[in-house]
Structure 1
Amino acid sequence: MQNPPFPAAMEPVNSAAGDAGSVAVLLCTFNGGNFIREQLDSIAAQGHENWVVYASDDGSTDKTLDILRQYQHSWGEARLLLSQGPRSGFSNNFLNVLQIASGRHAYYAFCDQDDLWHPAKLERALNWLKQQADNTPALYCGRTRVIDSTGKAIGFSPLFSKPPSFENALMQSLAGGNTMVINQALCDLLKETPANTPLVCHDWWTYLLATGCGGNVCYDPVPTLDYRQHDRNVIGANTSLKNRLSRLTQMLKGSHREWNSTNIAALNSLSPRLTAASSSSLRRFEQARNASLITRIKLMVTSRFYRQTLFGNLGLVVAVLTKRI
């Protein structure tokens, strides 16, 4: 059965951007029919009730759209708005729906289709975000509890203890996009991303812009959602030694160097928005990547680039020595 067409454009929502508690939940979907009801129910169970779901579907052929329309009918069209994604990857889908919601709310929460939000997720994020200046880009993110396809808890994402920074962001993403909630100032920065800019991942890009452009970042060590692992995950959780060894293997094969090239090109497209200190760090990193071994080591050490864990930093050392950064 063919799904009915999407509306040509979304109607304005009765949620003013000046409303200090208004949250746009940016839900990107693609064939998520197996788990999306549970995710929608967990959003509805939030202790913070001032939210609107913007669901952007990227061409689902299963029952995802039928389920979304059922919830839209139950909640009302002002509570759940549907749009069609650009069909050019999940990161572009998130940036697309961010453009749609921008300016209508005070805060924006990225949302995956198959997770389970804990009831206090939005409350914890807003408790910190409301303390940030309106004109300062602000990013709340954090740790997750990991569950299997049946909902059974199987572990936690790594606990990061080093401070967020641009020097860290150049080396790795800090947290999953499914944990991220941002303010309007950071939303405006993300909107400046030139159309069709290749990105490794929207969450890494968000962390890079927040730290590189003088923003504030909060990493919450308390998990606020259950991150579901199943055979259709686009990106899996980095929870086991096997997962970490797999990522180290990717790094040694050159994947991380390709990701860095992609991030650097994207950052250079927004170079006027970087702080002077961030621009300097970016230039030193670019120089180090193609320098001789001794110069490469010196630049990486003096620039104080780092990853969040001992294992990650050992992998970084190997990447530096083998010119895989």
Structure 2
Amino acid sequence: MLADYSVAMCTFNGAYFVLEQLDSIASQTHPPKEILVCDDGSADNTVELIRKFSELHPLINVRIHINKRNLGFIKNFEQAISLCTYEYILLSDQDDYWVNNKAELQVGFLSSNPSKKMVFSDAYRTDSKLMPIQPDLWQCVHFSALNQQRFMAGQALSVLLRHNIVTGATVALTKEFVHQQFPFNDEYPHDAWLALKAAQVDAIGFIPQKLIKYRQHETNALGAVYDSKLTKARKALTGYWRSQFPPEFFMRLKAYQALIDSEHCLSEQGKLVSQVKAFQEFRLSIMEGKQERLNGFRYLVRYWRNNYYNNYAAAKGSLVKDMLRLIVKSPNYTESTKQ
């Protein structure tokens, strides 16, 4: 018999979709004992709709907490999770739709794999009317067959240091594990942060099935965007001219340091995180024109030979851009052009 579980849901002006999501949760082959909803100050009738849903489903304990002030999605999820009472907690956005055996598979996975404290899945991408959009979620986040093999071989942390591939709407975790992570890192999305923390202790797993319909629409807090080959080529050509890396790059650097400073970071893991952080800071120094050219090329060749560009950047594309930036932006070049 499967263990009982809670659902942690965050809402904010979600009236248009929230009932469909709640109905999909109530229709699970293994339904929840409770749904804990934290509303972040909705101005529509989201809360009223949830209360009506609760009246129609007396076997599910629907608890609604209305925030006195807007917390934002990271702190609101932290709050919702903290209020859940059961051993297993499944995260839920307000606008998706669960496949009917999602909870059964995820609770079953965690129950039968006690070393794993967190599990995530693939998802169908859909439009606002739940019509399919190609490709599916894992293709968008580049969780390839090779990276899945690396995950299963105990290299989850290495995969996640490249970029986040875990979407919170597909996540289930244990109450004990997630409570150890309070307070969340408020500068990094909670799903990405929890995935890194679980990977530190080899406690994250995945289920390859698509277990939710991940709705893409105008008001998504976050979404999964797919870049075609043409778009990737255009970004590669224009990326060289950027004056700085995107904000996500700097968020990752802060997250790396937080991992290094955390109590669960073992010596080998800390060494890996420090090495990846140093590599990314090296790339940043090139972007900012602070890397001396000859020494920079020595490091660049070393990082390429040690597979850093393949594992933690966009392989040859990033290598070529860094080479061009090193030639044009290095202090040597800048000083010579002024003479």
The yes-or-no answer on 1:211 pairing with 2:199 is yes
Structure 1 length-normalised TM: 0.79
The yes-or-no answer on 1:127 pairing with 2:115 is no
SS at match of 2:118: strand
- The alpha carbon displacement at 1:288 in A equals 2.0
Of 80, 92, 99 in structure 2, the residue corresponding to residue 111 of structure 1 is 92
Conserved? CA contact 2:117–2:204, under 8 Å? yes
Distance 1:301 1:179, change over 3 A: farther
After superposition, residues 177-256 of structure 1 pair within 5 angstroms as 177-191=168-182, 193=184, 197-212=185-200, 214-241=201-228, 245=232, 253-255=244-246, 256=248
Of 84, 92, 97 in structure 1, the residue corresponding to residue 66 of structure 2 is 84
Aligned residues: 294
Conserved? CA contact 1:116–1:225, under 8 Å? yes
Give, as a single letter, the amino acid of the residue that structure 2 aligns with 1:198.
D
The yes-or-no answer on 1:28 pairing with 2:4 is no
- Say which structure is richer in helix: 2
SS at match of 1:290: helix
The yes-or-no answer on 1:261 pairing with 2:253 is yes
242-251 or 148-157: which moved more? Answer: 242-251
The yes-or-no answer on 1:294 pairing with 2:327 is no
SS at match of 2:254: helix
Distance 1:250 1:179, change over 3 A: farther
**Residues 198-246 of structure 1: CA distance to partner in whole angstroms, max 9, x if unpaired?**
332111111110102x132222221011001111111121334289749
SS at match of 1:60: coil
- The alpha carbon displacement at 1:64 in A equals 0.6
- The alpha carbon displacement at 1:42 in A equals 0.1
Give, as a single letter, the amino acid of the residue that structure 2 aligns with 1:120.
N
**Residues 125-152 of structure 1: CA distance to partner in whole angstroms, max 9, x if unpaired?**
122111222xx45211121101111221
**Residues 93-119 of structure 1: CA distance to partner in whole angstroms, max 9, x if unpaired?**
111211122xx2111111000000000
293-302 or 254-263: which moved more? Answer: 293-302
CA RMSD for the aligned pairs?
3.1
Question: What is residue 335 of structure 2 aligned with on the other side?
Answer: none
Distance 1:33 1:257, change over 3 A: same
The yes-or-no answer on 1:151 pairing with 2:133 is no
The yes-or-no answer on 1:276 pairing with 2:267 is yes
- The alpha carbon displacement at 1:73 in A equals 2.6
Conserved? CA contact 2:116–2:205, under 8 Å? no
Give, as a single letter, the amino acid of the residue that structure 2 aligns with 1:238.
V
State the identity %: 21
After superposition, residues 55-66 of structure 1 pair within 5 angstroms as 55-66=37-48
Of 161, 164, 167 in structure 2, the residue corresponding to residue 173 of structure 1 is 164
SS at match of 1:27: strand
Conserved? CA contact 1:288–1:300, under 8 Å? no
SS at match of 2:180: helix
Distance 1:231 1:209, change over 3 A: same
Structure 2 length-normalised TM: 0.76
- The alpha carbon displacement at 1:312 in A equals 5.2
Which stretches in structure 1 are left out of the alignment for 5+ residues?
1-18
Give, as a single letter, the amino acid of the residue that structure 1 aligns with 2:275.
R
